[in-house]
Amino acid sequence: MEALCEEFRAAGAVLRHYDFLAQTCHDLHQCPHLCSTNWSFLKSKSLDAAGWSEANRGFQEGTVVLGTKFEPAESHGQGTNGEFPGSHILHGVLSRNRWHAQTISIERPVALPGFGQDAAQLLKQLLTHLYRAKEVGESIQARLCERSDFLTILQEVPFACFLVNAQSYMHFANKAGSAMLEGSELRIVSDRLCARSSKNSRLIWRAVSAAAAKGVMSAGGPLTLPLDIEDAPLILNLFPVRRNTSQTSSGHEAKVAIVAKAPMGAALSSLSGLSEMYHLTPAESRLVGLLARQAGVFDAAGKIGISRNTARTHMRHLYAKLNVHCQADLIRLLSRCGML
């Protein structure tokens, strides 16, 4: 505001709020000149009915209004009747809705020259810059509010959700995620998302790095962490977060969202669920389905029309994908998942 005073060589500049319904005007922010000079009478006073009607018509957003402000004559030793021209005035309307307007009001004593079209044009240019700044400020505030609302919802999601960078260092964990970190396969070590075993930790780090680098979900699909055969498997779904690739600063580094669902027994209670989570081929799925019905490996091979050697090959692949070591372990896993 003080800079405006200097720019226009005015007695004072003030940000004002006009309420046309209540016919009131309030000073929101003003430069020190309004308080430190002899021109204190330039502060906003109530307008008469004609003045409010004129202001209501003229105060449209983005417009500049030139005028003269009158004060009661008795305020200046001019008797008790009439009005005294107190100042030249220049209004720049920042915002306007049905009943309210905000203006930058710049005032100059009548002893000085009045404002001309050059001053009006200068203020109009200033309004353009201020309006753009206002839009940016409002858009940032809207984004912050949206982010806050999203995080509030995310905190109540029943699945564990994490946000990490390309090196798996933690940025965010919702309530379910924080609870999972207290007693499951996942944990935080030196701010980095890890697993109980170094093998599974390396699996997580490679998957996160690949997702962040490609910007798309890896071809392998969800990451299945091999656990002890007595535990249900942990499935991690990785989603790279979209970023502005033109920015290279650390504030725009690649990030990956991770959704973990545990325990997975309910999700694996059907053959289709098991096949989807472990990426089984159709032939492997059919073989598992027959084994779940307590058929022997070679009997199952005959029913689906494959040789014994092919059945053995399928079984080796199943052991590797399901993290088991023999047929008995496989049967126990199917039993824990409710498929027997």
Report residue 252 as tokens. Answer: 């725009």
pLDDT at residue 40 in the model: 41
CA–CA distance, 251 with 187 (Å, rounded to integer): 25
Share of the chain above pLDDT 70, in %: 78
pLDDT tens digit string along 138-189?
A: 788 888 888 888 888 988 888 889 999 999 999 999 998 998 888 778 899 9
Residue 125 phi/psi, 5-degree rounding, is -65, -40
| Domains of the chain (ranges, CATH numbers) | 2-147 (3.30.450), 159-261 (3.30.450), 271-336 (1.10.10.10)
DSSP state of 52: H
Residue of 39, 46, 29, 54 lying closest to 9 (CA atoms): 39
Residue of 217, 112, 32 lying closest to 90 (CA atoms): 112
DSSP state of 251: G
pLDDT at residue 106 in the model: 87
Is the pLDDT at 116 greater than 60? The verdict is yes
Query: Residue 232 to residues 8, 81, 224: CA-CA distances in angstroms?
Result: 75, 92, 11
Distance of CA 318 to the CA centre of its chain: 42
Query: Residue 264 to residues 127, 159, 267, 298, 313: CA-CA distances in angstroms?
Result: 59, 11, 5, 30, 27
Q: What is the mean pLDDT of the chain?
A: 78
Between residues 284 and 224, which one has the greater pLDDT? 284
DSSP symbols for 133-175: HHHHHHHHHHHHHHHHHHHHHHHT-SSEEEEEETT-BEEEE-H
- Hey, how many other C-beta atoms are within 10 angstroms of the C-beta on 13? 24
pLDDT tens digit string along 18-58?
A: 998 888 888 888 887 766 544 443 444 457 788 888 888 88
- 184-188, 205-209, 229-233: which has the minimum mean pLDDT? 229-233
Residue of 73, 69, 55, 76 lying closest to 115 (CA atoms): 69
pLDDT tens digit string along 238-293?
A: 888 865 554 444 456 788 899 886 544 444 556 776 777 677 888 888 888 888 88
> For residue 338, what pLDDT band results from cuts at 50, 70 and 90?
low
DSSP state of 260: E
CA–CA distance, 260 with 262 (Å, rounded to integer): 6
User: In the sheet where 255-261 sits, what is the strand order?
Assistant: 170-173, 160-165, 255-261, 234-241, 223-225
Strand partners, 152: none
- For the question of whether the overall pTM of this predicted structure is more than 0.75, the answer is no
Residue of 283, 292, 295, 297 lying closest to 336 (CA atoms): 292
pLDDT at residue 194 in the model: 93
CA–CA distance, 340 with 335 (Å, rounded to integer): 5
CA–CA distance, 5 with 33 (Å, rounded to integer): 8
